[in-house]
Structure 1
Amino acid sequence: MRIDKDLVAASATPLVLGILLEGESYGYAILKRVDELSDGRLSWTDGMLYPLLHRLERVGHVSSSWHTAETGRRRKLYAITAHGRRALADRQSQWAVVSEALDRIWNPMTPHPAGGAA
């Protein structure tokens, strides 16, 4: 299944911030985690991930530092910041509203709580 690029773009920031909420990580590991979380249905490239990480770092959602792996290879590790945690919480609330609206239109016979979950 091909995922529309607009949907991939909309979900990229919350996915990366959510992954970094699990702990600091480097680019290749983030790519692998996205693949794992989507059961292989989302295949991101370096060309998509690194500009996103750089943007998230510029706006203060992510910090980075260089570390040397046991193999001697230098890797840039990324970590979510307090500002990034707040941004992720806000994105989670927004996605809950969108998800509930889609569920209501796609599953109109399912009972939904009054006023919504968000």
Structure 2
Amino acid sequence: MKIDKGLLGGSTLLLLLSLLAESDRYGYEIIKELEHRSDSTFQFKEGTLYPVLHKLENNGYVRSYMAKGDAGKERKYYQITNQGKKQLVEEKKQWQIYSMAVNKVIGGDAHAFA
């Protein structure tokens, strides 16, 4: 199922910071991990991902560095910063409030569909 870009846009920061909180990753690795964990619901294109990563870097939430990967190829890795970890906590709080409110409207009450 293709997800509306508006819905995805509101959760992109949360998704990316969550993955980077686990480990440093390079762009294609992020794309594949999001796709795998979401059962292909989240399918980012490189042209979508990299501008967001650059914005996160400009905001101080991540930093990038060059390093050799498992195959010995030089790659640009992204690492969450302390500021990014603080932002992740805030993003999780906002997501919990938002998702609880949506669930109350769409299914939390028997008369929601009446």
Amino acid at match of 2:10: A
Residue in 2 that maps onto 1:27: 27
The aligned runs of 1:33-52 (5 Å cut-off) are: 33-52=33-52
Aligned residues between the structures: 110
Q: What secondary structure does 1:39 align onto? A: coil
Whether 1:96 and 2:96 are equivalent positions in the alignment is: yes
Q: What secondary structure does 2:102 align onto? A: helix
RMSD: 1.3
Q: Tell me how far apart the structure 1 counterparts of residues 71 and 40 of structure 2 sit (CA, whole Å).
A: 28
Q: How many percent of aligned residue pairs carry the same amino acid?
A: 36
Q: Tell me how far apart the structure 1 counterparts of residues 78 and 31 of structure 2 sit (CA, whole Å).
A: 13
Greater fraction of residues in helix: 2
Q: Tell me how far apart the structure 1 counterparts of residues 80 and 8 of structure 2 sit (CA, whole Å).
A: 20
Q: What secondary structure does 1:77 align onto? A: strand
TM-aligned CA deviation for residue 70 of structure 1: 4.6
Q: Tell me how far apart the structure 2 counterparts of residues 85 and 58 of structure 1 sit (CA, whole Å).
A: 15
Q: Deviations over 1:76-111 (max 9, x none)?
A: 11110000011110011111111110111122348x
Provide structure 2 residue ranges, at least 5 long, that are not aligned to the other structure. Answer: none
Distance verdict in 2 for CA 1:64–1:100, change over 3 Å: same
Q: What secondary structure does 2:17 align onto? A: helix
Moved more, 52-61 or 63-72: 63-72
Provide structure 1 residue ranges, at least 5 long, that are not aligned to the other structure. Answer: 111-118
Residue in 1 that maps onto 2:86: 86
Q: Tell me how far apart the structure 2 counterparts of residues 78 and 95 of structure 1 sit (CA, whole Å).
A: 23
Whether 1:59 and 2:59 are equivalent positions in the alignment is: yes
Give the ranges of 4+ consecutive aligned residues of structure 1 lying more than 4 Å apart after TM superposition: none
Amino acid at match of 1:51: P
Q: Tell me how far apart the structure 1 counterparts of residues 71 and 108 of structure 2 sit (CA, whole Å).
A: 55
TM-score by length of 2: 0.90
